Amino acid sequence: MERAKTITRRRVLAAGTAGIMGAALPIAGQNADQAARPKVPADPTKVQGPLATDVGGRSPFERPRRVSFSDRRTSSLSPLQDLDGIITPSDLHFERHHGGVPAIDPRQYTLLIHGLVDRPLVFTLEDLRRFPGRSIIRFMECSGNGGRAYRREGNQTDVTPQQIDGLTSTSEWTGVPLATLFREVGASPKAKWFLAEGSDAAVMTRSIPIEKAFDDALIAYGQNGEPLRPEQGYPARLFLPGVEGNASVKWLRRIELADQPFMTREETSKYTDPLPDGTARIFSLDMDAKSLITEPSFPDQLTGPGWWEIRGLAWTGRGRITRVDISADGGRTWQPATLDDPVLPKCHTRFRLPWQWKGGEATLMSRATDETGYTQPTLDVLMAARGPSTAYHFNHIRAWKVNPDGTVKFAGGGA
């Protein structure tokens, strides 16, 4: 008995609530005198399971799944509510593709870099791997992510974090810095933009300011310790940390340097934000600070009043997250959450806050601030700035309503 109590107290201290809680009341668990003890087989040698396998799999009891909205399956969303920590397992990384997933033989793969350069060069995958490499843990988010939360279609309440915001994921990306390749080809000082072109049926093309190449752009061939998944651009993609996902062109086959942007379809007709005053935001590449509570969320049902840990993810394309505040009363009062190590730039950051549910109605919200001092806006503020018809960059504060029966429903911007 004493042992169980000690563990409980330690847990409470770890959660930083000892002061509020006083004595070591268990947060969860049954009295060990009454509960069933672990079953111990008489002969442990008789319970040996399957032998070692060459490639592992998930426990059959865990079934996280990406989901797709459209029958055309042009995208699938990460199950954010099923994940701990900050890394998205590669097979659950969200996908977005405009022309399917091409099958590329890595031995046939080439990347051409030309335009305003001294020496146009073609690189094989082997060539790319030979350059000094780099691994970075960074998020990638589709700038169309969260449109559902912004428009509040049908005022849906029975939607999961995955359905609202599942077009964001974090991986460890490995590759060669684009700056290295630009030095290799001898990028001209006249080059101000570069075009990235994919080899999928959509021939995705985007123009990127040249500074990004010399900052932190990567030609990535690795994801979470293994080659990129086909869905993520195998065998090589452009990866632009902190930038809207669309510009991280997958199945990359060509880069052209120029003195101006190319004004492709994807940066004029698409990925441009019409504003209420008749102008438009174009090349709005940076992802603004955002956060989302992933637990509790729909379809959770809290089993009773008491201590629950509010958990979620925060991220920003402009550096590190410096704080996340949580409100349990619809935005009237806020409390700072704890940020788990590591807090990396342009990366999902895990936040947590112990919360005592009294059993009544509560509206849970999270609000992220990044190192530039920018704070995630309310839906009203964002809507006033961008208007109702904008189609990208929906980073406003989200809300979840906890009902007296413990059910949790999506509550849009909270108001």
Ligand X SMILES: Nc1nc2c(c(=O)[nH]1)N[C@H]1C(S)=C(S)[C@@H](COP(=O)(O)O)O[C@H]1N2
Q: Which residues in this chain contact ligand X in the complex, by CB under 6 A? A: 93-99, 140, 142, 198, 200, 202, 204, 231-232, 245-246, 248-251
Binding-site partner at residue 222 among Mo ion, ligand X, none, CB < 5 to 8 Å by type? none
Tell how far CA 363 is from the center of its chain.
Answer: 23
C-beta of 251 vs 351, nearer to ligand X: 251
**Alpha carbon distance 379, 383 (integer Å):** 6
**Alpha carbon distance 133, 141 (integer Å):** 23
Kindly state the smallest distance separating residue 142's Cβ from Mo ion, in Å: 3
Kindly state the smallest distance separating residue 324's Cβ from Mo ion, in Å: 25
Binding-site partner at residue 200 among ligand X, Mo ion, none, CB < 5 to 8 Å by type? ligand X
Q: Is 194 within 8 Å of 213 (Cβ atoms)?
A: yes
Q: Is 242 within 8 Å of 209 (Cβ atoms)?
A: no
**Alpha carbon distance 106, 235 (integer Å):** 6
Residues 264-293 that bind Mo ion (CB under 5 A): none
Residue with CB nearest ligand X? 198
Kindly state the smallest distance separating residue 293's Cβ from Mo ion, in Å: 23
**Region from 56-64, 237-245, 315-323, 384-392 binding Mo ion, contact rule CB under 5 A:** 237-245
Q: Is 167 within 8 Å of 141 (Cβ atoms)?
A: yes
C-beta of 139 vs 351, nearer to ligand X: 139
Kindly state the smallest distance separating residue 262's Cβ from Mo ion, in Å: 18
Determine if 142 is a binding residue for Mo ion (CB under 5 A). yes
| Three-state secondary-structure class, residue 65 | coil
| Three-state secondary-structure class, residue 240 | coil
Determine if 245 is a binding residue for Mo ion (CB under 5 A). yes
Kindly state the smallest distance separating residue 403's Cβ from Mo ion, in Å: 34
Instruction: Report the largest interatomic distance among the alpha carbons of the chain, rounded to a whole angstrom.
Output: 78
Query: How many Cβ atoms sit within 10 Å of the Cβ of residue 170?
Result: 26
- What is the dihedral angle through the alpha carbons of 276, 278, 283, 286, rounded to the nearest 10 degrees? -20
**Region from 10-18, 103-111, 135-143, 227-235 binding Mo ion, contact rule CB under 5 A:** 135-143
Determine if 96 is a binding residue for Mo ion (CB under 5 A). yes
| Three-state secondary-structure class, residue 239 | strand
**Footprint of Mo ion (CB under 5 A):** 96, 142, 245-246
